[in-house]
Structures are given as structure tokens and as C-alpha cells.
Amino acid sequence: MKNKYRILVIFIMLILLGVLLFFSIKRFNNSPLKVISVDLLKTTPSVYFIDEKDIIDSVHKHNPKSKLGDIDIPDLERKIKSLPSIDSANIYLNLNGDLHLDIKQRVPAFRLQYGKKDFYVDTKGIAFPTSKNYSLNCMLVTGDINPKEYQKLIELVKKINTDNFCKKFFIGIEKRNNNYYLLTSSVNYKVEFGDLDNIDFKINGFKTFVEKYLINQPADKYTQISIKYNNQIVATLNHKLPANDSILNAGRQELQKIINNGNIKTN
């Protein structure tokens, strides 16, 4: 008899608990969304393509009734992540009914311009549009770039940005006629890089060439330094520089000798 009584008491308590839980959930779901907390996670470097107001406006846009029960967390996460400058979003409701959003913005590896196109490419190789309200000072790349080359470009930009010498020396990258060129900050020549293979080898070779030889030459002696070839650096003399006349004349005379000896045929 006592066991039956205990079972009946437990059964009644479970029913009451279920009723209380039902009304609590119903009350929670019908409660208005009052607190939206946005945490824009720190990045390196810091970026400001979007602010808390933009995120809150997006939440209200996708939840016009502003009721807790109408919030579809997975769907809201997908919609927030679909914003061009958002890398990731973690969204959750706490027991008080406060909506928390942890947002990470995309960090550009470089900015790409070609014709009317102008956009960023982030460190994962994903392109996203520029902002009217904010611009990050990053490596500018120009030319018709195949998206398949983004990862190699990111590797090159990272090499430049993490090397004190290169960071001060190179200010841009240009692709022309299937060749990449590194644009320099304070000298009158371009650096022909060639393709995007052997990045470390080419950069280290150029640094050695500058430190061992080029640093002692006039800044306008050459119009181009090519590091595209294996195990050699080719420098193109500036024919407009009077100091180079003797070198150029000597080269022409040597070439004429070779022609006269019949080693080169001319039409």
C-alpha cells in the first residue's frame, strides 16, 4: 500500500513538473528579445569592416518579431556568416534570454585590383568586397590573377610582411604577361619575380644581391632586376643614365664582334 502511495505521489509530482516546465518554456519563448551582446573577436591586424550595430541590425532583420521562441540559432548563424566580411560566427542564448554573438571578421592578405575589379582576398584565399566605411592598409596586387594562384600569393605576401627587409622594400605586386613583378618603395626599378615557385629561394637571393652589391650602386643604375631564373640574377641597365654609356657601348662592341665572326646570323 505504501509503495502504491509513493508511486502515485511521484507520478503527480512528475505531472506538476511537466506542467511547470511547459509553461516556463512557453513563457520563455513568448518573451521579447531584449539583450543582444556582440563580441567582435580580436584579429591580427585589427579590422573594422563591420561593427556591433551592423550585427544587431542583421539580427532584427532576420527576427522581426523579436521573440525568443522565433530565433532559429543555426539559421541565424548561417545568415550572419553569409555577410561578406564575416569569417565565423558562434551564436547562443543563455538562460536569461540574452542573445550572444561571437563574431570573427575576415583579415585581408592582400587587396586585388584589375580593371573595374577591386576586392580583398583573406588569409584563407576567399575573396570579399571592399568597404565604403573602412580600408585596411595591406599589400596591393594588380593584374589578371587566377583564383588558383591566391594561396601562392598569400605565401609570397606573408614572406614579405614577416621579413623586415622585404616589408620596407616592397610595396606592391603586379602581374603582367604571366610574370609577377615586385614594386619597390624608394628605387627606380622593378623586380621581376617570374612565377610563384621557389619563393624563399628567390627572396633570399635578392636580399643577398642587394646587401652584397646593389647597395653600393646608384639607385637609378638599373631599370629591372630579374630573379625569375634559377641560380642567377639578371640586371637591366638604365640606358638613359649617362654613367652607363661606357658599359652599354662596350656591350654593343662585343656583340658586333660576335656578329662579324659569324656566330650570329642577321637578316
Asked whether residue 127 is assigned to any structural domain, the reply reads no
Strand order in the sheet with 117-122: 127-129, 117-122, 108-114, 139-142, 170-176, 179-184, 190-194, 222-226, 234-237
Closest CA to 177 of 136, 216, 143: 143
Q: Which helix (H) or strand (E) holds 97?
A: none
Please, are residues 174 and 142 in contact by the beta-carbon 8 Å criterion?
A: yes
Asked whether residue 168 is assigned to any structural domain, the reply reads yes
Which pLDDT does position 252 carry in this prediction?
Answer: 42
CATH number at residue 144: 3.40.50.11690
Asked whether residue 4 is assigned to any structural domain, the reply reads no
- How far apart (Å, rounded) are the C-alpha atoms in residues 24 and 174? 63
- How far apart (Å, rounded) are the C-alpha atoms in residues 234 and 251? 15
Question: Which residues span the domain enclosing 57?
Answer: 36-105
| 218 plus 178 within the same structural domain | yes
Q: Enter the C-alpha cell of residue 193.
A: 619575380
| 101 plus 152 within the same structural domain | no
Give the 3-state secondary structure of residue 160.
helix
How far are the Cα atoms of 101, 114, 153, 242 from residue 85, in angstroms, in the given order?
Answer: 15, 20, 20, 52
| 145 plus 246 within the same structural domain | yes
Predicted confidence pLDDT, tens digits, the chain (267 residues)? 556 667 666 666 777 666 555 545 555 555 777 889 999 999 999 999 999 999 999 998 888 767 777 788 899 999 999 999 999 999 998 878 789 999 999 999 999 999 999 999 999 999 999 998 899 999 999 999 999 999 999 999 999 999 998 998 899 999 999 999 999 887 678 899 999 999 999 999 999 988 888 888 887 888 889 999 888 899 888 877 655 544 434 434 443 343 344 443 333
| 100 plus 159 within the same structural domain | no
| 97 plus 146 within the same structural domain | no
Which pLDDT does position 211 carry in this prediction?
Answer: 87
Residue with cell 643604375: 221
Asked whether residue 143 is assigned to any structural domain, the reply reads yes
Closest CA to 97 of 36, 157, 26: 36
| 98 plus 152 within the same structural domain | no
Q: Enter the C-alpha cell of residue 223.
A: 631599370
User: What is the value of pTM for the model shown?
Assistant: 0.77
| 171 plus 242 within the same structural domain | yes
Q: Total domain count for the chain?
A: 2
Beta strand 117-122 pairing with 127-129: antiparallel
| 168 plus 80 within the same structural domain | no
What DSSP string runs through 201-248?
A: HHHHHHHHHHHHTGGGS-TTSEEEEE--STT--EEEE-TT-GGGHHHH
Domain end point (choices 105, 128, 149) = 105
How far are the Cα atoms of 41, 83, 252, 259 from residue 267, in angstroms, in the given order?
Answer: 68, 63, 18, 11
Q: Enter the C-alpha cell of residue 111.
A: 587587396
- How far apart (Å, rounded) are the C-alpha atoms in residues 70 and 32? 10
CATH number at residue 97: 3.10.20.310
Domain end point (choices 59, 90, 105) = 105
| 149 plus 100 within the same structural domain | no
| 158 plus 230 within the same structural domain | yes
Asked whether residue 110 is assigned to any structural domain, the reply reads no
Which pLDDT does position 221 carry in this prediction?
Answer: 84
DSSP letter at 149 equals G
Domain end point (choices 89, 105, 121) = 105
| 161 plus 88 within the same structural domain | no
Asked whether residue 124 is assigned to any structural domain, the reply reads no
Asked whether residue 172 is assigned to any structural domain, the reply reads yes
Asked whether residue 90 is assigned to any structural domain, the reply reads yes
| 177 plus 237 within the same structural domain | yes
